[in-house]
Amino acid sequence: MGGMARGKRPPRVGDGPLVRRLLIGLVLILGAFLVLAPLLIIGVEAFSRGWAVFRDTIAHPDTQHAILLTVFTAMIAVPVNTAFGVAAAWSITKFDFWGKRFLLVVIEIPFSVSPIVAGVAYLFVYGLQGLFGPLLDDWGIKILFAVPGIILASMFVTAPFVARELIPLMQAQGRDLEEAATSLGASGWRTFFSVTLPNIKWALLYGVVLCNARVMGEFGAVSVVSGNIRGQTNTLPLHIELLYHDYQAAGAFASASILALIALFTIIAKVALERQGAGRVRRPALVTQPAEKAS
């Protein structure tokens, strides 16, 4: 009796069939109203005035420029943040140095600061009345209300994504494999490309996918530093807002459908990478040779 009592697990929340069904039903209902319904509305409203209006909206020069600017911003911000994330994760997990905890705090700052606050901060740094504004103006360098400001703001809000995926994984993996490769004469770069990179590739791609989706959908920080100049500094999210304010609801939803498709492809890529092990902290097993039999 004592052994049975010790082996019996305590009841968990949701073990009962009624509670379990209520919880699952509540999650499905909330998911349908909060996630699926808005996505369906975007698709319906995008074609509410016919295919011709949808096609003309997407083919409009302002929409084309907004799409190209969004893609151009992602092509710069994502690789830079990928390099930053890898370097930060490598430094934090493979070395012991003073200020490591401070570096972790710095990486987390973009998640705790509102994007609009970040955009305003850039105004006080690079604006004409800001810290470096007069000097940049003397040199003829324009940061704010131009493409460089959009790229900087996008890089700020997406800086932690790659690092946050890599740091827990690399901490769990430890330093054994890299130290073994170094002891065998491998250089730092050879160790990274032959040992570290194969072990983090899926988590790295996972972070890149999330970073890319966030860059393309960023609104708050970009809206502050871009100036909202139609056909010049409008990314796709800002262009959607302008169309909506111009009472072009069908055009706004048509443009929004592009971001919805990007979100859908992001979810598909995310699920595929998770099946490969991304997002899960696992310590790779060391390959050991079987001991030779004693003669």
Confidence (pLDDT) at 12? 64
Confidence (pLDDT) at 288? 39
**pLDDT level of residue 74 (50, 70, 90 thresholds):** very high
Average pLDDT score over residue span 51-57: 87
Residue 144, classed as helix, strand or coil, is: coil
3-state secondary structure 9-25: CCCCCCCCHHHHHHHHH
In the chain, what are the domains?
51-275 (1.10.3720.10)
Average pLDDT score over residue span 114-140: 87
| Tens digits of residue pLDDT in 58-73 | 898 999 999 999 999 9
**pLDDT level of residue 88 (50, 70, 90 thresholds):** very high
Neighbours of 250 (CB within 10 A): 18
pLDDT at 36 over 80: yes
Query: From CA 194, how far away is CA 47, in angstroms rounded?
Result: 50
Confidence (pLDDT) at 130? 81
CA distances from 153 to 21, 69, 77, 259 (A): 44, 14, 9, 19
| Tens digits of residue pLDDT in 152-184 | 999 999 999 999 999 998 888 888 887 788 888
Query: From CA 66, how far away is CA 237, in angstroms rounded?
Result: 8
Q: What angle do CA 6, 9, 11 make, to 5 degrees?
A: 140
Q: Lowest mean pLDDT of 132-146, 227-241, 274-288, name the range.
A: 274-288
Contacts of residues 244-248 at CB distance under 8 Å and 24 or more positions apart, as own/partner, are 248/57
Confidence (pLDDT) at 152? 93
CA distances from 163 to 148, 168, 211 (A): 23, 9, 10
Tokens 């900087």: give the residue. 152
